[in-house]
Amino acid sequence: MYRLRAVRRAVSGRLHPDAAGDGRRRTAAAPPIAVSTLTQARRRSWLRAAWLAGTVLLCIVWPALEYPAFDIEPQERVKAFVQLAVLHGAWLLWPLLAQSVFKAWQRLRERRRWRAAGAITVAIVCGLLCYARFVEPNELVVRRTVIAAPINLNIALVADTHIGIYTRPGKLRQLVAKLNALPVDLVVIAGDFTYDPPHDLAAALAPLRSLRQPAYAVLGNHDVQLPGPPLADKIKRALAGSRIHFIAHRVVTFPTFRLAGLHDWWSGRDDAAFLRHLPPGKPLLILMHQPHSLRALQGVHFALAMAGHTHGGQVDIPWLTDAVFRWTRDETHVNGYYHTPLGPLFVTPGIGVTGMPLRFNCPPTIDVLELRREPD
């Protein structure tokens, strides 16, 4: 009986098996560590080191190397560095996506369904973020809208190129190539050329010099220091001699219509009184940056007003995006055509991004507005 109890204690680890007969308590020998356990520990250690190195490289080193190239106001420097870190750090989403998919597959094989559900959720979130960061912002779609008007005219409307921290000159080259291929009568640009742009603004905007037909433009809030550095004169100098003509507070007369431009709403200079006394006879088109400038058009008869600024929300979630704009910006015109009490308005979602470098369900867009006279 004594021997049986000793064996049981030895098996349970309370006594060393060799000392089963002397009654003295001894520390049990530690079980040998499996080779697979050591391998897993080394693998985890290697993965942690790789993640740390990738994070430092993408979120600190790369932004630090790029940062000096941009024209950033002193009070915006920390924010700009964080934005660069987010822009480049998003590359870490790809290995995180791969790791989550692998873990989900592994746990499903092991029938650990609850843990698999967590990994699947992480994989879905990473997949959506990868799409919103790397896929949709690099698209450029052409959207056509037929609008009843007193004239027949095809207009290419673009806005919010936001050359700078997030959007680089390659996007402008893509834009110009598409504009040059479109059979339109008029190209208009509704402002916000920049967003914390590089010091060499002329080089950044150089692709716009390749436009094959005249374009008419106004500046946006990011171009006139609201927010951002005072870039209006710098932008105009960078594009001097190009086919882009700035028409804020001006009226350009064409054979069959007039085109007028307004200063940006936030500048407080978007007074449209100069439009209230135009001679009749030609339809008036109005180019402005913000849809809010529609409020300045009381008493002005116009065929169509065109704006940008909203980016269509950048992340367009049905119902929610429009509600957020109403609650936070008092803005009811976010994307597309609106028939308002003051007259028709079209808002384009634009080309670039601000805030976060994401677009979802709202790709960069060239809007082709097909104005068509209704038959008598």
pLDDT of 188 above 60: yes
Q: Is 268 left (phi over 0), alpha (psi -120 to 50) or beta?
A: left
CA distances in angstroms from 197 to 216, 223, 290, 350, listed in the order given: 21, 10, 21, 17
Same-domain check for residues 273 and 367? yes
Same-domain check for residues 242 and 187? yes
Characterize 154-163 residue by residue with b for buried, 16 or more Cβ atoms within 10 angstroms of its Cβ, and e for exposed. Answer: ebbbbbbbbb
Same-domain check for residues 301 and 220? yes
Least-confidence region, from 33-42, 162-171, 262-271: 33-42
Q: What is the pLDDT of residues 327-360, one digit of tens each?
A: 888 789 999 999 999 999 999 999 999 999 999 9
Q: Into how many domains does the chain fold?
A: 3
pLDDT of 205 above 90: yes
pLDDT of 13 above 80: no
Check residue 224 and report its DSSP letter.
B
pLDDT of 294 above 60: yes
Same-domain check for residues 170 and 127? no
What stretches of the chain adopt beta strand conformation (E)? Answer: 141-148, 153-158, 163-164, 186-190, 194-195, 215-218, 244-246, 250-253, 258-261, 284-287, 304-307, 336-340, 343-347, 365-372
Q: Residue 10: its pLDDT value, please?
A: 44
Question: Which of 89, 114, 137 is the C-terminal boundary of a domain?
Answer: 137
Same-domain check for residues 213 and 232? yes
Question: Which of 120, 137, 154 is the C-terminal boundary of a domain?
Answer: 137
Q: Identify the top-confidence range among 26-40, 221-235, 248-262.
A: 248-262
User: What percent of the chain shows pLDDT beyond 70?
Assistant: 89
Q: CATH code at 229?
A: 3.60.21.10
Average pLDDT for 98-115: 88
Q: Residue 376: its pLDDT value, please?
A: 65
Alpha-carbon span 329 to 118, nearest angstrom: 36
Q: Residue 54: its pLDDT value, please?
A: 93
Same-domain check for residues 105 and 196? no
Its domain, for residue 12, covers 1-30
Q: Residue 266: its pLDDT value, please?
A: 86
Same-domain check for residues 200 and 247? yes
Q: Residue 20: its pLDDT value, please?
A: 45
Same-domain check for residues 273 and 345? yes
Same-domain check for residues 13 and 50? no
Helix axis angle, 93-109 to 113-130, nearest 10°: 160
Alpha-carbon span 69 to 295, nearest angstrom: 39
Average pLDDT for 43-59: 89
Same-domain check for residues 9 and 54? no
Same-domain check for residues 52 and 182? no
For residue 143, the Cα-to-chain-centroid distance in whole angstroms is: 19
